[in-house]
Amino acid sequence: MTAPRRSRLLGTGHYLPARVLSNSDLERMVDTSDAWIVERTGIRERRIAAEGECSSDMAAEAARRALESAGLKPADIDLLLVGTISADHPMPSCAALVQKKLGMRNVLCVDLSAACAGWLYGLEIADQYVRTGKARRVLVVGVELLSRVLDWTDRVTCVLFGDGAGAAVLGPQEEGETGALLGTHCFLDGGLAGALCIPAGGSARPASHATVDAREHYVKMQGQEIFKSAVKNLASSCKVALEEAKLTAAEVDWVVPHQANLRILQGVSDRVGVPMARFYINLDRVGNTSSASVPIALDEASRAGLLKPGQVVLCCALGAGIAWGSALFRWG
């Protein structure tokens, strides 16, 4: 009997806009302090897209870099998945614009709305396509331009997020190759849907003068609810991934997590039993970039030479929905 076909990462890439917004810049905008933000979140600065720069621009650039690292061309891709909740327009999809900007072939290109878990959701779907042979090369992008949907008068949310894009190409593991996506586990609890949302601008509350006046087109968050859910669910999804792969916490070389809050990651580290020294952290420099967070961190860690062939790399993310999940790689 032949072993089931696995998928593996063929290349990664990311893009961050040039403009840096520091905590001291924010001190001049809202009633906050560098000390509070660093102590409560670990974030020191984040990137903000330039005027006129769109999600599809950032996504296309991250995708070009991932394709380059995989040694592939846009025409080699036969499925494009874009995790985003801040597409250029309500319609068409961000994926449609990325396809056009990359000059890709006429293939299935679609957005996934799973907020901070969007890229992981895309990875799970991509994995199925590759394993069944329905697609050979899948481009999975996470992009977010949240600075345009943040309320810059709300100190609870505006200090947390940043803009950026990350991308990866998934393809089949070939004979003799050891690198593999060992498993993905994605979940969603709609019971907490109201704890992190943009209330207006959809069909439930279409844009009107009243919704604009009430500032309902911006991100609203019940921070503590999300915090508790994140520690619990990120840890459980990491444990499920390890159990299913018959690996222990001691065998994990790197955790490359969603970068929302250092204290959340400390809670996950305690529960899963992987020390913080093995967590790749960039939230101090980029903040929470939502669906772009994991692929940006993965690409940074990979390009820095931290992720070595044969190592076990565990990713996890959680965001609005509440949607969360994990992905486990044998690097290579």
- Active-site positions read 116, 258, 288
From residue 177 to residue 216, the character string flagging contacts with ligand UT7 as x (rule: CB under 6 A) and all else as - is -------------------x--------------------
**C-alpha span between 96 and 102 (Å, rounded):** 10
- Element holding 12 (H helix, E strand): strand 7-15
Identify whether the C-beta of residue 9 lies closer than 8 Å to the C-beta of residue 179.
Answer: yes
- Binds ligand UT7 by CB under 6 A, chosen from 6, 19, 40, 44: 40
Binding to ligand UT7 by residue 230, rule CB under 6 A?
A: yes
Size of the site for ligand UT7 (CB under 6 A): 21
What does the DSSP assignment read for 204-242? SS---HHHHHTTTTS-EE-HHHHHHHHHHHHHHHHHHHH
Query: Minimum CB separation from ligand UT7 for residue 129, in Å?
Result: 27
For 279, residues 6+ apart whose C-beta sits below 8 A from its C-beta are 254, 255, 256, 257, 265, 269
Helix (H, G, I), strand (E, B) or coil at 282: coil
User: Please, which of residues 257-276 interact with ligand UT7 by CB under 6 A?
Assistant: 260-261, 264
Q: Which residue is nearest to ligand UT7 (CB)?
A: 223
**C-alpha span between 260 and 160 (Å, rounded):** 7
Binding to ligand UT7 by residue 113, rule CB under 6 A?
A: no
Nearest to 227 by CA among 40, 92, 94: 40
Residue in the structure block whose two tokens are 């996504």: 59
Binding segment toward ligand UT7, per CB under 6 A, in 4-12, 29-37, 186-194, 323-331: 29-37
Query: Minimum CB separation from ligand UT7 for residue 26, in Å?
Result: 8
Identify whether the C-beta of residue 138 lies closer than 8 Å to the C-beta of residue 169.
Answer: yes
Binding segment toward ligand UT7, per CB under 6 A, in 15-23, 61-69, 74-82, 225-233: 225-233
Query: Minimum CB separation from ligand UT7 for residue 36, in Å?
Result: 4
User: Please, which of residues 136-175 interact with ligand UT7 by CB under 6 A?
Assistant: 155-156, 159
Residues that bind ligand UT7 (CB under 6 A): 32, 36-37, 40-41, 116, 155-156, 159, 196, 223-224, 226-227, 230, 260-261, 264, 288, 318-319
